[in-house]
Amino acid sequence: MYEDLLKSISDFIKKKIGENNFRDWFSKISISYNDGYFLIFPNKFTLDWVNSHYSTLINELSESLGFEIKLQTATELSAQEIDSLLIDSSLNNDFTFENFIIANSNEMAYEAAKRIAENEDIIFNPLFIYGNVGLGKTHLMHSIANYKKKHFPKKKIMYLSSEQFMNQFINSLRTKTIMSFKDEFRSIDALLIDDFQFLGKKDATQEEFFHTFNALLEQKKQLIISADQPPHTLPGVEARLKSRLGWGLVVDIHPATYELKVSILQAKANKLNLHIESDILGLIAQKIHSSIRELEGAFVRVTKYAEWMKKPITSDLVHTILNNVYENRPKTAQEILSILCNKTNFSLEKLKSNGRNRDLARARQKVVFLLKEATGISYVQIAKLLGGKDHTSMIYAENKAKELIQTNSEFAEEIESLRSFIS
């Protein structure tokens, strides 16, 4: 019963504040009952922030449920109450090895992740998985954590995004609980850090992670890291840390092939008990050229329209629903660049210049991020389009844009707006 309630609460909060804010402030909540329902937060800093910024939201939540939801930190609970807490909601229970679709593009990453999950002993350490956004890295990370929690319940498993690790570290400095932070992270059996690239340029956090990394390796504890590129090209990451990240096994996930996309769509259709002709699934797959997430979004768009309008899913319906969204996007990087120059109000000459003012830098970051996302061309090719700049500066610009999407709502909205123009 509590698990269903926690899911309902999490869904309500996500809908109100969005995935990014949910992940930053609510992803580690649990629920407990003691003469009333309590949302449990991992530390006082997070609780105080929620009380300060989301009190209205909590009141709305209580009204929607029909009973009061109170807030509490884990340190305020008794040992018995702590034992009764549910698994933290940052793990997606739907992400398992069983529903991960395997193909040549992700086979090695899948096999490595599964071997890590199934073994208590260390096979290779760390496991480093990299690939572009939306290709399945996070699915594999959650699969590892979910498998270990189910089959090795006595093991302490911790999954965090790099932002969550950084926020917890910063909070420990503010609250003068750094020793508790160190003890917590160095007592776990498996640490999984997602989207490691966002720790670039975060020198103090990298320093702490470096020591945590070494301590866990010395104790023969497992580390699993994901990022959008291999260790040696991570911008803003110290050389000694890059070296250690590459000590174990480094595996990548390539963009999805046509066959993999069709298989994923077939699996989703089967899960929903929908009979959709294979040529229709193939048509959807042909229209989506970027991430698996976009592919799944297109599938939902088609199936929901058919359900609501009570129409069969035909090739004509797929064309009608998806053409305006996907087929009209520019076919070349040059066409996309032209649109972005127009919409950001910066000429190509300006973007190619060596100017470094804030507005121009932000425009470049948007352009690089969207060029990479929409076309998949190399950083070297993007650098040539922008006047022959060094490709490492393109990597930095893309990573900075990804960081801002997570931390700056105005920047994220501008990215969404630009996406709509180049679609």
pLDDT attached to residue 366: 92
Q: Which of 308-317, 329-338, 374-383 has the lowest mean pLDDT?
A: 329-338
Residue type, 324: N
With a cut of 70, say whether residue 327 has pLDDT above it.
no
CA distances from 207 to 213, 231, 238 (A): 10, 16, 9
pLDDT in tens, 187-218: 888 889 988 888 888 888 888 888 888 888 88
Per-residue confidence band for 90, with pLDDT thresholds at 50, 70 and 90? low
With a cut of 60, say whether residue 154 has pLDDT above it.
yes
With a cut of 90, say whether residue 376 has pLDDT above it.
no
Domains of the chain: 2-83 (3.30.300.180), 107-252 (3.40.50.300), 258-327 (1.10.8.60), 333-422 (1.10.1750.10)
Average pLDDT over residues 399-410: 87
pLDDT in tens, 26-58: 887 888 766 677 888 877 777 878 888 888 888
pLDDT attached to residue 143: 93
pLDDT attached to residue 198: 83
pLDDT attached to residue 423: 64
pLDDT attached to residue 89: 45
Per-residue confidence band for 87, with pLDDT thresholds at 50, 70 and 90? very low
pLDDT attached to residue 2: 59
With a cut of 50, say whether residue 83 has pLDDT above it.
no
**Is residue 394 within 8 Å of residue 382, measured between CB atoms?**
yes
pLDDT attached to residue 73: 78
Average pLDDT over residues 371-378: 82
Average pLDDT over residues 333-347: 82
Per-residue confidence band for 412, with pLDDT thresholds at 50, 70 and 90? confident
Beta strands in 346-398 (DSSP E): none
With a cut of 70, say whether residue 75 has pLDDT above it.
no
Q: Give the best-scoring range by mean pLDDT among 16-30, 98-112, 324-338.
A: 98-112
pLDDT attached to residue 79: 41
Percent of the chain's residues with pLDDT above 70: 92
With a cut of 60, say whether residue 77 has pLDDT above it.
no
pLDDT in tens, 265-304: 888 888 888 888 888 888 888 777 667 777 888 888 888 8
**CA distance linking residue 66 with residue 42, whole number of Å:** 25
With a cut of 90, say whether residue 112 has pLDDT above it.
yes
Average pLDDT over residues 79-101: 62
Tokens describing residue 379: 């950083």
With a cut of 50, say whether residue 335 has pLDDT above it.
yes
pLDDT attached to residue 84: 39
Per-residue confidence band for 81, with pLDDT thresholds at 50, 70 and 90? very low
Model-level pTM?
0.56
Q: Which of 14-28, 164-178, 369-383, 389-403 has the lowest mean pLDDT?
A: 164-178
